[in-house]
Amino acid sequence: MYKDIWKIFNVTTVLIVPLLDEQTIPLLYKHTDLEYPFILAALEHGLENGYLGVRQDEDVPTVEYGYMYLLFRNDLAFRKLTSVSIPHFSFNELLIDSPFFDSIQMKTSEYIVYKMTIDPRWETDIRRITDGKYSTLSKRYREEIRVKQARVPTTNNPLFEFLISSNMAYFVTRQDKKLSQSIGDFLNMRLPKDAELFKEFNPDKETLDISSLTKKLKTNGSTL
């Protein structure tokens, strides 16, 4: 499944979006005491990927260290919450009620983009991530993105569940030996001991091309 994670998710989603765990009220799974990690709940409710900037067409990608942009599918973001024990009707309401919600960057018939602020205390770590130096993140940051509970809710998407239950983000920052072996296996190579255990931060993939969304909708015959 590591190969699928590399293919589907960008660096922002895996290593930065988990910070939002501290930015929302605790999520409980189906009225139990089992915590629902924010990123898992977000993926279940339409999160496609997170980004550190937005751009238009041929604009040069510009990374923003103080903001995160979350691309959601409308049909899931506005769907009634049934698996999370919180006083919100939808995930859209949950995000808007977050103290770190800034604005809705754009909304089309299929997608909605939420602009969220990032606590300034993480700027040094965010810059290290954009430099591809995942193993140099501070201990405080590592602990912040670590999945701390022994169990996570069972979902209908094994990939989402694996991303969280494997604690992948945390082990990437720790240069975990077992993870290194797994990554080497699907890359068909033996990684050096000092190798970073996730793909490089590519500004083209980590900033959202807003115009591509509108072009896609027009190609599909959708209206904005």
Which residues are CB-contacts of 101 (< 8 A; sequence separation ≥ 6)? 95, 114, 115, 116, 117
Candidates 136, 99, 105; CA nearest to 118 is 99
34 DSSP assignment: -
Which token pair is 50? Answer: 């997170």
* Helix ranges, 62-209 (H): 74-77, 91-97, 123-130, 139-145, 158-165, 168-173, 177-187, 203-206
Rg of the chain over all Cα atoms, to the nearest angstrom: 17
Place 99 in a pLDDT band, splitting at 50, 70 and 90: confident
Instruction: Give the residue carrying structure tokens 């299929």.
Output: 110
- The backbone torsions φ and ψ at residue 5, rounded to the nearest 5 degrees and listed phi first, read -65, -45
User: What average pLDDT is seen over the chain?
Assistant: 88
Residue 24 has pLDDT above 60, yes or no: no
- Cα→Cα distances 217→54, 108, 179, 206, 220, Å: 18, 8, 38, 21, 5
Mean pLDDT, range 55-84, rounded to an integer: 89
pLDDT at 211: 86
Mean pLDDT, range 131-153, rounded to an integer: 91
pLDDT at 224: 38
pLDDT top residue among 156 and 107: 107
Most distant CA pair in the chain: distance in Å? 51
Strand pairing report for 111-117 and 101-107: antiparallel
> Is 74 within 8 Å of 109 (Cβ atoms)?
yes
Residue 218 has pLDDT above 60, yes or no: no
pLDDT at 27: 64
Candidates 126, 121, 152; CA nearest to 137 is 126
Output the pTM of the full model.
0.90
Which 3 state secondary structure label does DSSP give 57?
Answer: coil
Residue-wise pLDDT for 176-202, tens only, equals 999 999 999 988 888 998 999 999 999
State the Cα–Cα distance between residues 78 and 93, nearest whole angstrom.
8
88 DSSP assignment: -
